[in-house]
Structure 1
């Protein structure tokens, strides 16, 4: 069970999952040009003029999931949903959960309370109108909820969300809240919003990333598998794994005006991701976020 930290004085831990642990497979639905690392190089105004790859990549991902009979949660940008409604409907028709990633990939930490409420409300409405199902979950772009803007969790509850997966309890130069609880918890009691952090493994007083993303491409697959197994077997908890559609797309347009560090992080091992995902779907049990973590009304 998670312990309260100074950052969450009213934290209430969520229940430990039952036997036969299922992990949550999640996809942050955005295109390659919308990543935060490219924000200073690709203007938002240029987005409609760029070659989109997201539909091709989502169809590939749906095929991988279907082959292993895996159901997942798709945290989807409202901007994407408006342009690809048929793709959103294919996600829902496949039995997957539709959740929100905000409207236009604006970091929660770059918005005030009014702007944030508009962002999360509009994206929720767009997704529900297109998908025809209630949207209960939200993930902040770049895990941009931290000590500085914990008010965002209250805004999410007010907007009608039941859970968030927006905190990554690691130390990172772009995001992270290392002293946050490692597993699902209620920041303001069980009548409030459930926060479901990205998975980490605790080793030598430090949280190591174990939930996918760029680390899944960087680490050898055997290490990623071991980290998730440790969470299931030692912590007796469900893991949260995430990735992006562009991470299965080694043929995406290459950006030329970015730094070496950004280039490495974005492009490393793109050609290996699809096969690693296929292995991951075989090696573990998976399900949607809402099916694993939410209590039935």
Structure 2
């Protein structure tokens, strides 16, 4: 179970509609939403991994400490939700190194995992995985093995693999189910929010039963917050993707927490690797 800790104004869907220079002037909702998520996890006795922006950690250090104090894994989502595809190798190196240090200094724990904003590691920038290994990360969950208009690497394996020869570094893709030779997303996010619950449930059960593999599921704090400020200046497609079914997401998350067994990324995958 994973959470990408970012606020509603930092999402990729609004990157052309909200100026990064205005972020500090906007209402932040992440504190309220993380409190709700921590309560949900506690209710269902679930421990999870929180891929957290350095920008959030700097401004809300108590949120980071709450995550750690409640027994969850602290991991990195980069500094300011910049796609890796929009960064040079030196820029990316600085981003992940700096954000890792911020999280570790505030959380008081080592940070092993990284997830790229908008799953922006793929065939054209696999060098980013080398940078992560060099920066001291043990794993990444940044490649989505699907075809999508904003991201995806359909040729990537569906399950965890070692992308760097001779190194223990692991890439852990968000879960897909194979249907008629095609990889279909079933690991949370917008697909989980937009589609009927029974479809996601059946797909994840199939992965568990047929593939004998654990699922990697993700969602965002803003997805359980229907009261967030509306970005009326954004395009219709972006607004549809972002706002549809926000009012039912918390209920759906509680269902998936109750009907499956979940754990932290480091405990489920790194311990399995031995």
Q: TM-score, normalised by structure 2?
A: 0.98
Matched, 1:53 2:29: yes
Q: Where do 5+ consecutive residues of structure 2 fail to align?
A: none
- Choose the corresponding residue for 1:248, options 219, 224, 229: 224
1:87 deviates by 1.0
2:164 corresponds in structure 1 to: 188
1:77 corresponds in structure 2 to: 53
1:260 corresponds in structure 2 to: 236
Q: Which aligned pairs between 1:215-230 and structure 2 lie closer than 5 A?
A: 215-230=191-206
User: Relative contact order (alpha carbons < 8 A, sep ≥ 6): 1 or 2 greater?
Assistant: 1
> Aligned partners of 1:97 and 1:147: how far apart in 2?
28
- Choose the corresponding residue for 1:153, options 118, 129, 142: 129
1:192 deviates by 3.5
Q: Which aligned pairs between 1:16-35 and structure 2 lie closer than 5 A?
A: 25-35=1-11
Matched, 1:174 2:155: no
SS at 1:161 equivalent: coil
1:199 deviates by 0.3
- Choose the corresponding residue for 1:143, options 113, 116, 119: 119
> Aligned partners of 2:33 and 2:151: how far apart in 1?
26
- Choose the corresponding residue for 1:118, options 88, 94, 101: 94
1:191 deviates by 2.2
Number of residue pairs aligned between Structure 1 and Structure 2: 273
> 4+ residue runs of structure 1 moved beyond 4 angstroms?
none
- Choose the corresponding residue for 2:174, options 175, 198, 204: 198
Deviations 1:7-36 (A, max 9, x none): xxxxxxxxxxxxxxxxxx000000000001
> Aligned partners of 2:128 and 2:168: how far apart in 1?
12
2:83 corresponds in structure 1 to: 107
- Choose the corresponding residue for 1:207, options 183, 186, 211: 183
Q: CA RMSD in A?
A: 1.0
- Choose the corresponding residue for 1:276, options 248, 252, 259: 252
